[in-house]
């Protein structure tokens, strides 16, 4: 018994040392010009740490994704593209139907990857079954917050002005590189889809490049650091294309954000009826698989709001309801 207890104590000590080493390894290393010893205590206390995001190790995360795809024999989906002299990963999946309607460019959220299981993987894998190719792009991590996240409405003057997102130049260059690559495969029609902070990038890209895509899908959109929810919402006023805004109304903040987005859509000068906002909570209350419901929503939106509907024989009148699925018999 004593030997067993001794062995157990040794194991506990070793595990403690291992955990300590892991924590030590995650501590930021001092670099010239960034010596914490020279920084006033008031700037390094825990109250100020909320202004920063500790970045996940993006390189390690992407390498792990590559390994996972290889194990699943999906390595052929990996494409390495280049933007502004920097390589980045995309996952390409062609349409598996007889015709390709276009390509959905997909942007994941911060500290995730192009095959993230929450929403990205289900959508990028399912849409090719419905005549869409998918290009899921590696979005660079947001390393540092320039200022605390703002949730209140700022001054409403000039609220249609362009905004600057973190890493915007790099992200926009990656989106354009992916579009250019798809065009070499004779793809002409593009739709942008983003999840959480990725949705903000998709929205801002289309607002600044209005001829680049036919539609936009925002999945549970989040504002990146140092921009308010209100500022992100106002960008919808600059987009003329159809928009699906599918979100989870989980608290008062998300409800206010959704209200601002809807108000901004109603202030568009044209295509006001092409903005569809849906709360995911009623879907989830049905007890059905939430990922399948998400796929159904996006698929139906694309069917009714892109050229896909023009490439088939005329459909009967369709009511734009919750699912966009069932034609009305007339």
Q: Which residues contact 169 (CB under 8 A, 6 or more apart)?
A: 84
Q: What is the pLDDT of residue 153?
A: 54
Q: What rounded mean pLDDT belongs to the chain?
A: 78
d(CA 211, CA 189): 11
Residue indicated by tokens 């065009």 = 183
pLDDT for res 92? 96
Distance, in Å, from the CA atom of 138 to the CA atom of 124, rounded to the nearest integer, reads 13
pTM: 0.74
The per-residue pLDDT for 81 is 95
Is pLDDT above 70 for 270?
yes
Query: pLDDT tens digit string along 158-168?
Result: 556 778 999 99
Q: Express each pLDDT in 122-158 by its tens digit.
A: 999 999 999 999 999 999 998 754 444 555 555 555 5
How much is the pLDDT for 269? 79
Q: Which residue has the higher pLDDT, 40 or 303?
A: 303
- Of 6-20, 170-184, 247-261, the one with minimum mean pLDDT is 6-20
Task: Say whether domain 76-310 belongs to CATH 3.40.640.10.
Answer: no
Average pLDDT over residues 89-103: 92
Contact 246, 218 (CB under 8 A): yes
What's the pLDDT at 276? 95
List CB contacts of 63: < 8 A, sequence separation 6 or more.
Answer: none
Q: Where are the chain's structural domains?
A: 76-310
Written as six digits, the tokens of 72 are 């699943």
- Check residue 54 and give its pLDDT: 42
Q: For residue 252, name the pLDDT band (cuts at 50, 70, 90).
A: confident
Contact by Cβ (8 Å): 93, 124: yes
**Per-residue CA distances from 266 to 62, 120, 262 (Å):** 40, 28, 6
- Evaluate whether 324 touches 301 at the Cβ level (below 8 Å): yes
Q: In which region does residue 284 sit, left (phi positive, over 0), alpha (psi from -120 to 50) or beta (all else)?
A: alpha
pLDDT value at residue 42: 34
The top-scoring range by mean pLDDT among 20-24, 86-90, 156-160 is: 86-90
Give the lowest-confidence range in 23-32, 91-100, 140-149, 264-273: 23-32
Per-residue pLDDT band for 23 (boundaries 50, 70, 90) equals very low
Comparison of pLDDT for 4 and 93, the residue scoring more: 93
Between 55 and 44, residue with greater pLDDT? 55
Three-state SS annotation for the chain:
CHHHHHHHHHHHHHHHHHHHHHHHHHCCCCCCCCCHHHCCHHHCCHHHHHHECCCCCHHHHHHHHHHHHHHCCCHHHEEEEEECCEEEEEEEECCCCCCCCEEEEEECCCCCCCCCCCCHHHHHHHHHHHCEEEEEECCCCCCECCCCCCCCCCCCCCCCCCCCCCCHHHHHHHHHHHHHHHHCCCCCCEEEEEECHHHHHHHHHHHHCCCCCCEEEEECCCCCCCCCHHHHHHHHHHCCCCEEEEECCCCHHHHHHHHHHHHHHHCCCCCHHHEEEEEHHHHHHCCCCHHHHHHHHHHHHHHHHCHHHHCCCCCCCECCCCCCCCECCC
Tokens of 196: 């959480």
**What pLDDT sits at residue 272?**
67
pLDDT at residue 14 above 50? no
């Amino acid at each position: 018994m004593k030997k067993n207890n001794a062995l157990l104590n040794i194991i506990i000590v070793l595990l403690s040392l291992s955990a300590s080493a892991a924590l030590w390894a995650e501590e930021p290393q001092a670099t010239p010009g960034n010596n914490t010893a020279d920084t006033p205590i008031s700037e390094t206390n825990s109250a100020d740490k909320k202004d920063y995001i500790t970045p996940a190790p993006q390189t390690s995360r992407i390498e792990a994704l590559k390994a996972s795809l290889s194990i699943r024999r999906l390595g052929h989906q990996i494409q390495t593209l280049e933007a502004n002299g920097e390589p980045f990963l995309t996952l390409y999946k062609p349409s598996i139907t007889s015709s390709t309607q276009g390509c959905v460019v997909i942007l994941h959220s911060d500290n995730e990857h192009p095959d993230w299981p929450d929403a990205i993987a289900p959508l990028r894998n399912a849409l090719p079954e419905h005549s869409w190719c998918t290009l899921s792009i590696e979005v660079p991590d947001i390393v540092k917050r320039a200022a605390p996240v703002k949730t209140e409405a700022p001054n409403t003057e000039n609220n249609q002005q362009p905004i600057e997102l973190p890493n915007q130049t790099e992200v926009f260059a990656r989106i354009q590189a992916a579009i250019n690559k798809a065009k070499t495969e004779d793809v002409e029609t593009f739709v942008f889809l983003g999840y959480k902070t990725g949705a903000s990038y998709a929205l801002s890209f289309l607002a600044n490049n209005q001829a680049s895509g036919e539609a936009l899908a925002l999945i549970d959109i989040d504002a990146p650091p140092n921009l308010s929810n209100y500022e992100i919402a106002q960008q919808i006023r600059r987009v003329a294309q159809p928009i699906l805004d599918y979100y989870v109304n989980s608290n008062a903040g998300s409800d206010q954000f959704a209200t601002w987005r809807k108000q901004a859509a109603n202030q568009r000068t044209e295509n006001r009826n092409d903005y569809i906002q849906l709360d995911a909570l009623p879907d989830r209350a049905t007890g059905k698989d939430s990922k399948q419901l998400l796929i159904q929503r996006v698929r139906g939106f694309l069917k009714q709001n892109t050229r896909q509907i023009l490439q088939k024989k005329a459909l009967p009148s369709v009511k734009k309801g919750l699912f966009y699925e069932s034609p009305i018999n007339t």
